[in-house]
Amino acid sequence: MMMHQQAPIEEIITDQSTLIEALEVMKEYKFWSDSTLEGYQSDAQCFENFLCDRGLDPTLQNGRLDYVQKWIKEQKDGGVSASTMKRRTTALSSLFSFYRDLGIVGKNPFKVITLPVGQAGHHSPILTLDQLREVYQYAEGLQKEGHPAAMTIKALIFTGLRNEALSSLTVKSIHVDKKWLKYERAYINSKNKVQIIPLPPKLLSELQAHIHMHHLQADDLLLLD
């Protein structure tokens, strides 16, 4: 009895495929919950609508930096919150990173885009213990789905580093023998800022598993898209 063999993803999706088509195929390779998938579909549809409104095909090929920049500006002018824009951009960045790694698209414009910051004078509220616990549980759920953002959220919770610092960490920032994370930043005046942050055993173990699972080398960025 012959078994039906599914065609390779590279034969199903091309740069002429729509974002929703690409997302539907991508989901077969992800352990997403229904709510995560629905969120990604909504965010992809938002960008597709933007392209269609301008007479453009909503394809991977039209995920161009200039179009993405105009999409971000339209959202900002329309009063969309910075957090919503960030969520949408993150979702589409995951989509384009997936197909970039497969060689189907050449670039991921959503990764390099600069988002407008929130209104000046307003800061993120300090989370209560219960709220922090909810964020951690959310990260645990993402981790079970194999989503790389899980480790970013956990690193944020336990290190207190800001996004700029987290995004610059490399594998060699983790010192397993000393059970700490070393963050070092060079400034223009040649002075260095060094932070030594002890890591809880569970987080250290999960970071080691994360490094092993993604086959990361010493100079690779520690936290993925």
Mean pLDDT computed over every residue of the chain: 84
Contacts of 205 (CB under 8 A, 6+ apart): none
CA–CA distances in Å: residue 110 to residues 45, 114, 164, 180? 15, 9, 17, 32
CA nearest neighbour of 51 among 39, 40, 64: 64
Class of domain 129-214 (CATH, top level): mainly alpha
**Phi, psi for 196 (deg, rounded to 5):** -110, 120
Strands 180-186 and 174-175: antiparallel
The residue with greater pLDDT, 81 or 56, is 56
pLDDT beyond 50 at 52: yes
Per-domain residue ranges of the chain: 10-102, 129-214
The residue with greater pLDDT, 6 or 89, is 89
Contacts of 71 (CB under 8 A, 6+ apart): 47, 50
Provide mean pLDDT across the span 68-92. 90
Point out the least confidently predicted range of 86-90, 120-124, 132-136.
Answer: 120-124
Class of domain 10-102 (CATH, top level): mainly alpha
Q: What is the pLDDT of residue 125?
A: 59
Q: What is the pTM of this model?
A: 0.53
pLDDT digits (tens, 9 = 90+) for 164-192: 788 888 899 999 999 999 888 755 444 55
